[in-house]
Amino acid sequence: MIVVDTNVIAYLFINGDYTPKAKKLLKIDYEWIAPILWKSEFRSVLALYLRKGFLTLENSYLLLDEAEDFMNEFEYEVKSNDVMQLVSSSNCSAYDCEFVALAQSLNLKLYTTDKKILKEFPEITISLKSI
């Protein structure tokens, strides 16, 4: 079991530079978990692609359905106090700290492409690029 951030989930479902790495990570560990926040962030990614004309509305529905099915039962609540503690000791957003808090609470690694998270929390993060 590993924690993944929204970027990793997005690369699994939307073709991009790190899609091969996301697929390779899935072969290494198929049990991906994330805070519930991932879904809102994923919608924002789809909205960006939709507005730029890279996706149709119908394709965004399909991608959202696939991602939600994949993450079903692997979404976790995180404690707000844990998130705020991480915010107070880093330069990361509260959104980013939700993923870190989940990884810390379960003593798991967080896979990400986010440079700030990788820099601020090197002891718990692994770059998707390194896969």
> Amino acid identity of 36?
I
pLDDT digits (tens, 9 = 90+) for 24-53: 999 999 999 999 999 999 999 999 999 999
pLDDT digits (tens, 9 = 90+) for 45-56: 999 999 999 999
Residues 9-26 have a mean pLDDT of 97
Helix axes 19-28, 6-13, angle to 10 degrees: 100
Which of helix, strand or coil describes residue 78? coil
pLDDT of residue 112: 98
pLDDT digits (tens, 9 = 90+) for 87-107: 999 999 999 999 999 999 999
pLDDT of residue 56: 97
Fold of the CATH domain 2-130: Rossmann fold (3.40.50)
**Contact present, 10 and 17 (Cβ < 8 Å):** no
pLDDT digits (tens, 9 = 90+) for 51-89: 999 999 999 999 999 999 999 999 999 999 999 999 999
Count CB atoms within 10 A of the CB of residue 56: 11
Where are the chain's structural domains?
2-130
Which of helix, strand or coil describes residue 4? strand
**Contact present, 128 and 10 (Cβ < 8 Å):** no
Residues 7-20 have a mean pLDDT of 97
pTM of the model: 0.95
pLDDT of residue 117: 98
pLDDT digits (tens, 9 = 90+) for 107-123: 999 999 999 999 999 99
pLDDT of residue 99: 98
